[in-house]
Structure 1
Amino acid sequence: MRTSALAMTAVLLAGAAAGCSDDPGDASTTTPPPTAAPSTTAASSSPTAKARPAVTVEGADARLTAAVAKVYRGRKGVRAKATVGRWEGEKVAVVTSGQDVTLAVGPRWRVVGGWWPSLDRKADLGGTPRFVLVVGSDARPGKTLRGTRGDTLQVLGVDGKGGGGVMGLARDIWAPMPGGGHAKINAAFAYGGGEGQVGAVRKVTGLPVEGYVVTGFGGFEKIVDRSGGLPMRIARTVILQGGTKVLAGKRRLDGEHALAYARERKSLPDGDFGRSRHQGELLFAAAATARLEGIGSVPRTMTTVSKYADSDLTAKEALTFVASFYRIDPRKVGHTVAKGGFGTSPDGQSIVVLDAASRQAFRDFRDGRL
C-alpha cells in the first residue's frame, strides 16, 4: 500500500542537520592552482567572451568550472555556486544555477549527474530504481566494526519518478548467511561484513540493493552531534534504558538520545518491530531537516558522514543517490517494516518468520516506491 509521508533520505547519507560545519572540504586539485579561488570563469573563445563570460562558478577551481562549462556549452552569462566536500577520499561537488543542479566528482572534475531545466535536459541520477542499505552496527564506541552485528537495517529506495520509500527489516528475520547456512539476518554483518549483509538482504527481499553505509554506536552519535542535533516530533513519551525519558512533542535529540531512541525495544508494545519503526522515524526527521538546508548542503553532510561511517558506495553512487531524494514528491513516499510471526530455528533460537504482507511489500518495493 502506497502511503503519503515526508520525502526522505538517510540519517547516514544525507541526515546531517542545519549548521553542519565539520570539515566542509575544499575545492583544490592536485595540479595548479593549489587552492580554490572565490570564483572562476570559463571564457568562451568567441570575440564577445571578454565582455560576457560564458560560465562563472563561485567557490570552484578552474577544473570544476571547466567541467560545468561543458554542460552549458553555447550558453553565455551563466552564474553558478559550488559547494565541495569529500566521500571516502574522493571529492564531491554540487553546483547550482537557478533551478539547475550539476553533480561532479574530483579531483579531475567530471560531471556525474544532475538536472537542468534551463537546458530542457532530463535528470540524470544513475538510473532507476535504486536501493541502498543503511546499517547501524552494534559496535560500541571506540570498537571496530569487524565481527559486529547489524543492529539497524533500513533499505532506502527511489523510483526516479518522484517516489521513494524506506523499509525496516526486523533483525531476527531468518535468512541465508554468507558462505552458507541460515541465521538471524543481522548476523550476516558479522559473517561477511557490509557485502555479506547486503547479500543477505538481497536474498530475503529480492531487491537489487547496490551498496551499504554502516556506522557503529559512537559514529552515529558523532554524526548527530556534529549536525547540531536532530529535530523531530515524538508521537508519545518513551522511557529509555536506564530510566531516561524522551517526552512527546517537538524535540531536538542529541546523539546519545537519538541512539537510545533508535535502540529502545523493551518498553515498546511491539518490541523489535517498534524499534524498527522508531529508526524509520529518525530517517524521516533527518530527511526533513536536510531538505530544508537545500541540495547545496549535501557535500558538507557527506564529508561528516564519511568520517564516521564505512561504505562501499563510490563518490558517484553516493552523490547521485543522495541527490535523488531532492527530486521526491512527499506524497509519493512510504515507510514500512518487514516483520512476521515468531518461530524457532533448528538450533532453538527465537526467530521472525516473514508473513505474507511483508513478502508482498518486497514485491511492491521493487519499483523503488512504497
Structure 2
Amino acid sequence: MVVGMSGGYGAWPPQEPEPTLELRQPSRWEKLRGRLPLSRGAEGQGEVLQPDERFYGAPGQQQYVSGQQQYVPGQYGPGEYGPGEYGGPGEVQPGAPRGPEGPGGPGGPGRPRKQRRFSWPKRILAGFVVLVLLIGGYGTWLYFHASGEIRHEHVLSDYPGRPPEGKGTNWLLVGSDDREGLTKDQQDALHTGGGSVTGGTSRTDSMMLLHSGDHGTTLISLPRDSYVTIPAWTDSKGKPHKESKNKLNAAFAFGGAPLLVKTIETSTGVRIDHFAEVGFGGFVKVTDSVGGVDMCLDKPIKDELSGADLKAGCQTLNGGQALAYVRMRYADPLGDIGRMQRQRQFLAALAHKVSSMGVILNPFKLVPTLDNSLAAFKTSDGTSLGDLYDLFQNMKSVNGGGGHTIVVPIANPDYNVPNVGSSILWNQTKAAQLWNDLKNDTEVTGFSAT
C-alpha cells in the first residue's frame, strides 16, 4: 500500500534530504577584495588559491593554479549576491584569469578600483621643486663656466714700501691700445691705426681708479699724461733701469701692468686690490654682445682721427661707434679731460646694460656676454667672478647717482718738461686729501668732475 503525499507521510520511496550549506556574510574586507585568501604554494607555483571548505563553494571545487590568481565558482554561494557579483554562477569559469582583463579587474564586472590622483597643491609643489632644481643646476653650471673664462695675469706683487691695505676696495681699470683679436681690415675700419699689437709695446688710452666702501663709489680718472715718478724697474731682457720722472703712460709702456700698478701705488699711497685691462677688440665685442649701449649726446660729434660721427640726442651705440666715442679727443676743446669724461659715462652705462634684467634673464644673451666680457678682460691673480660682479654693480651705482666721478686735482694741464713733452701736473695738496679719503674710506667731497 502506497501512501500518497496528500497524506503527509512524504514521498515514496524515501529520499535522502538535499545537502544544505551554511552561509555566512562575507566581511567588508572580503567584499572589497573579492577573492579568497592567498598563500604561498609549492616551489615554482607562485601565488595560488588553497582549498578551503569554509568559503561558500562546494567542497572540492577549489583548485591550484600555478602562477596566477583565479576566482572559484560559487565563491560566495550560488547567486546570493546576484549573477556576476563576487563570482556568482554563470559569470566566473574555472581557470578564468584574475588580472586586468578578467572579472574583478579594472574595468571588469567585479570589484571597482579607486584611482589615486595628486591634489593640486602637491602638483604645484612638485613643479616648484623641479623648477628650483633646474635653476640651481643652470646657475651652478654658469658659475663654473664663467669662472673658467676669467683671464688672470700676475700683476700685483709685494715690494718694500708698498702701501698697507686700507678700508674699502680699490680697482685700477685700464683701457689699452691692444689690438688683440682684430684683423688689419678691422683696425682700419675702427680707425685704431697701426699702433702697438700683441707682443709689442702697449700704451694706455685710459686709466681709472674705482674705490668702493661705506660711503658709496668714487670713480677717479687718472690722466695718462700725468707727470709722476716711475720706480726702478727691470725690462724683459733683464736690464735694470733707475727711478725716473715721466708720464704715467710711460710706466705701462716700459713695464706693462705690474710697473703701472707700482707707479700709481707709490704716487698716491693707495693700495690697489684688483686690476682689470681691456683692449680695443675686447671693448668692441663686449658692447656688441649686449646689443649696444644707450647714450644721450648734447651735440653731434665728428672726429676724423677716431672715426666718430654721431648725431645729437639719445641713441644706441654699437661696438665701433662706442670705441670712437670714448677715444675722440682732437675734436674736443677739453682734449684728454673731455675724453676721460666720456669714458666714465660710457663705462657706467655699459655696466648698467650688462647687469640689466634683459641680459641676466636671457641665457642666449647672458652666456655670450659673459664669454665676451671675461675673454676681453685681463685681471689680476685672485680676482674671482664675485669680484667682477661687485665691480659691475659699483660701476652701475655710479651711473645711477650713487657715487662720484671726478678727475685727480690738476695744478697745470700743460706742464712742459724737457725730453718728456707736455704733461699734466697734479695739485699735490688737493690730491693728497683725495688719497687720504680713499685710504680711510671717508666721504669724498669738494672735487671737480672735470
- Shared fold by TM > 0.5? yes
* Contact preservation (8 Å) 1:340, 1:358: no
Root mean square deviation of aligned Cα: 3.6
Aligned to 1:231: 294
Q: TM-score scaled by structure 1?
A: 0.62
The match for 2:433 among 346, 349, 360 is 360
* Contact preservation (8 Å) 2:276, 2:379: yes
Alignment CA distance shift 1:249-1:323 (3 Å): closer
Deviation of 1:237 after TM superposition, in Å, equals 2.2
Alignment CA distance shift 1:368-1:201 (3 Å): farther
1:108-257 aligned within 5 A: 129-140=168-179, 141=182, 143-144=197-198, 146-159=200-213, 161=214, 163-178=216-231, 179=233, 180-242=243-305, 244-257=308-321
1:287-298 aligned within 5 A: 287-293=351-357, 296=360
The match for 1:336 among 392, 406, 413 is 406
Alignment CA distance shift 1:162-1:299 (3 Å): farther
**How far, CA to CA, are the matches of 1:63 and 1:296 in structure 2?**
11
* Contact preservation (8 Å) 2:351, 2:396: no
Q: Which runs of 5+ in 2 are unaligned?
A: 1-125, 152-165, 184-196, 234-242, 445-450
Alignment CA distance shift 1:264-1:184 (3 Å): same
**How far, CA to CA, are the matches of 1:369 and 1:220 in structure 2?**
31
Task: State the structure with bigger RCO (CA 8 A, min sep 6), 1 or 2.
Answer: 1
Provide, for residues 47-102 of structure 1, a one-character-per-residue CA deviation record: whole Å limited to 9, x for no partner.
Answer: xxx9x97x94433449959xxxxxxxxxxxxxxxx7664245469xxxxxxxxxxx
Alignment CA distance shift 1:62-1:249 (3 Å): closer
1:256-271 aligned within 5 A: 256-271=320-335
Deviation of 1:296 after TM superposition, in Å, equals 4.4
Deviation of 1:169 after TM superposition, in Å, equals 0.9
**How far, CA to CA, are the matches of 2:331 and 2:313 in structure 1?**
18
Deviation of 1:292 after TM superposition, in Å, equals 2.8
Q: TM-score scaled by structure 2?
A: 0.52
**How far, CA to CA, are the matches of 2:284 and 2:249 in structure 1?**
21
* Contact preservation (8 Å) 1:151, 1:171: yes
Deviation of 1:303 after TM superposition, in Å, equals 2.8
**How far, CA to CA, are the matches of 2:396 and 2:352 in structure 1?**
13
The match for 1:59 among 116, 128, 135 is 135
- 1:350 equivalent to 2:413? Answer no
Count residues in correspondence: 270
SS where residue 58 of structure 1 aligns?
helix
SS where residue 153 of structure 1 aligns?
strand
State the AA in 2 paired with 1:247.
K
1:77-92 aligned within 5 A: 85-87=145-147, 89=149
- 1:286 equivalent to 2:360? Answer no
**How far, CA to CA, are the matches of 1:300 and 1:284 in structure 2?**
20
- 1:310 equivalent to 2:378? Answer yes
Q: Which runs of 5+ in 1 are unaligned?
A: 1-49, 66-81, 92-126
Provide, for residues 139-189 of structure 1, a one-character-per-residue CA deviation record: whole Å limited to 9, x for no partner.
Answer: 233531652011111112211x36102111111001232512222111222
SS where residue 134 of structure 1 aligns?
strand
Aligned to 2:341: 277
